[in-house]
Amino acid sequence: MPEPLQATDRTRFHRRANRGTHDRATVDAILDEALICHVGFVADGAPVVIPTAFVRVGDAVYLHGSTANHMLAATIAREVSLAATLIDGLVLARTAFHHSMNYRSVVLFARGRAVEDPEAKAKILAALVDKMAPGRSTACRLPDATELRATLVVELPIVEAGAKIRKGPPLPDEGDDARLPYWAGVIPVSLARGEPIPA
Amino acid sequence: MPEPLQATDRTRFHRRANRGTHDRATVDAILDEALICHVGFVADGAPVVIPTAFVRVGDAVYLHGSTANHMLAATIAREVSLAATLIDGLVLARTAFHHSMNYRSVVLFARGRAVEDPEAKAKILAALVDKMAPGRSTACRLPDATELRATLVVELPIVEAGAKIRKGPPLPDEGDDARLPYWAGVIPVSLARGEPIPA
């Protein structure tokens, strides 16, 4: 069983009464669907946010990159915040005030740890290509020892984390607003895959 | 003319020799296409990253929310990093090592400032609904004085900022790798809008 997720003082930034959850399965599903995340760390006392690919394996998410990567270096043994967000819809109400978006997001907090074991790194990098295209790890050459040494993998455990979800139609406009002659509803949006382009 | 963009010590985290640019038009185009951004700030010495809607108007980007919003409060007169990222493709090479993504991202650094002037706030909130659906600000009721007072708008000037772009096919696999019997190329991805669902 994974550790139960923790709600802490800083998870409040990603909370809203009726939209927040610390359900692990919900968190995992969002992490597994999101192709990229945004990683936040502190450099010289100020915040830095950088987008990057990632993958969840078991009870942690993993970042990777070159051993010269500045962002990764700034996450090892340091506090990190990671957010992964899926946009599901544009919510148009009769009033500008009630416009919103449908989305599913996860925010987690952890300290980064470099994964040293080559077998563990290989497994994580295989999971990463499988996330991009199912079964891809059996349809490409996996990293050799030199490539593994050139790749830094950073682990962030999924413990202090939560999800936030908004779905469904706009909040109903009330009174006179409900009778305004404007269209209201949701424009669904999703990340669509196009026709593959061979190299 | 907008101020020229600044490359600074901390923009190095979002730099890579052949993929970085400080061209303002490139930065603006990415900010205008991205529906959400991820905002990073420091709370109790540790980083926090939160997703949120945003809009660019002229030489700044704007966040908004309830006057009780914890994230917004943490950005006013404080250092903020904001990242907006568009995913354009999954890049599959014959080797796992050369897998990548095509993307366009902007990372900026600024100090937040609360916009107090009701007319300025109204203009920004109109731009925000127009970003969701072109012309929407003329097809809904705009905020009244009470709604404007209930909405906090935070400005982040676009000065210390840069874009990073990867496009095109995978790096060519070399030597024996080039002869591996695996498919290589790009699977395009894009945020697609579906059939509107009336409320």
User: What ipTM was assigned to the predicted interfaces of this complex?
Assistant: 0.95
Q: Does A116 touch chain B (CB under 8 A)?
A: no
Q: Do B96 and A142 touch (CB under 8 A)?
A: yes
Q: Do A183 and B198 touch (CB under 8 A)?
A: yes
Residue A43 is predicted with a pLDDT of 95
Contact B140, A95 (CB under 8 A): yes
Q: Which residues 6+ apart lie within 8 Å of B177 measured at CB?
A: A141, B94, B95
d(CA B93, CA B186): 9
Q: Which positions in chain A touch B183 (Cβ < 8 Å)?
A: 139, 196, 198
Nearest alpha-carbon partner for A162 in A63, A14, A48: A14
- Evaluate if residue A6 carries a pLDDT over 90: no
Contact B84, B34 (CB under 8 A): yes
pLDDT band (50, 70, 90) for residue A28? very high
Quote the Cα angle for B72-B61-B26, to 5°.
Answer: 145
Residue B1 is predicted with a pLDDT of 64
Q: Please give the structure tokens belonging to residue B133.
A: 């659906």
Q: Do A93 and B128 touch (CB under 8 A)?
A: no
Find the CB nearest B95 among A13, A79, A141.
A141
A113-162 pLDDT, tens per residue? 999 999 999 999 999 999 999 999 999 999 999 999 999 999 999 999 99
Residue B17 is predicted with a pLDDT of 59
Q: Do A10 and B44 touch (CB under 8 A)?
A: yes
Q: Please give the model's pTM, rounded to 2 decimal places.
A: 0.96
The one-digit pLDDT tens for each residue of chain B (199 residues) are 677 788 888 887 887 657 888 999 999 999 999 999 999 999 999 999 999 999 999 999 999 999 999 999 999 999 999 999 999 999 999 999 999 999 999 999 999 999 999 999 999 999 999 999 999 999 999 999 999 999 999 999 999 999 999 999 999 888 999 999 999 999 999 999 999 999 9
Q: Does B139 touch chain A (CB under 8 A)?
A: yes
Q: Which positions in chain B touch A13 (Cβ < 8 Å)?
A: 43, 48, 50, 70-71, 74
Phi, psi of A74, rounded to the nearest 5 degrees: -80, -5
Report the gap between the CA of B1 and the closest CA in chain A (Å). 27
A12 C-beta neighbours (distance < 10 Å), count: 15
| Alpha-carbon A199 to chain mean position | 29
d(CA B47, CA B44): 8
Using the 8-state DSSP alphabet, how is residue B45 labeled?
T
Find the CB nearest A42 among B9, B46, B199.
B46
| Alpha-carbon B33 to chain mean position | 8
Report the gap between the CA of B182 and the closest CA in chain A (Å). 6
B160 C-beta neighbours (distance < 10 Å), count: 19
Q: Kindly provide the b/e burial profile for residues B163-178, where b requires at least 16 CB atoms within 10 angstroms of the residue's own CB.
A: bbbbeebbeebeeebe
Collapsing DSSP states into helix, strand and coil, what is residue A196? coil
Q: Do B99 and A132 touch (CB under 8 A)?
A: yes
Collapsing DSSP states into helix, strand and coil, what is residue A120? helix
Restricting to B residues 158-197, those with a Cβ less than 8 Å away from any Cβ of A are: 169-170, 172, 177, 180, 182-197
Q: Which positions in chain B touch A94 (Cβ < 8 Å)?
A: 140-141
Q: Kindly provide the b/e burial profile for residues A56-76, where b requires at least 16 CB atoms within 10 angstroms of the residue's own CB.
A: beeebbbbbbeeebbbbbbbe
- Evaluate if residue A3 carries a pLDDT over 80: no
Contact A61, A156 (CB under 8 A): yes
Q: Does A132 touch chain B (CB under 8 A)?
A: yes
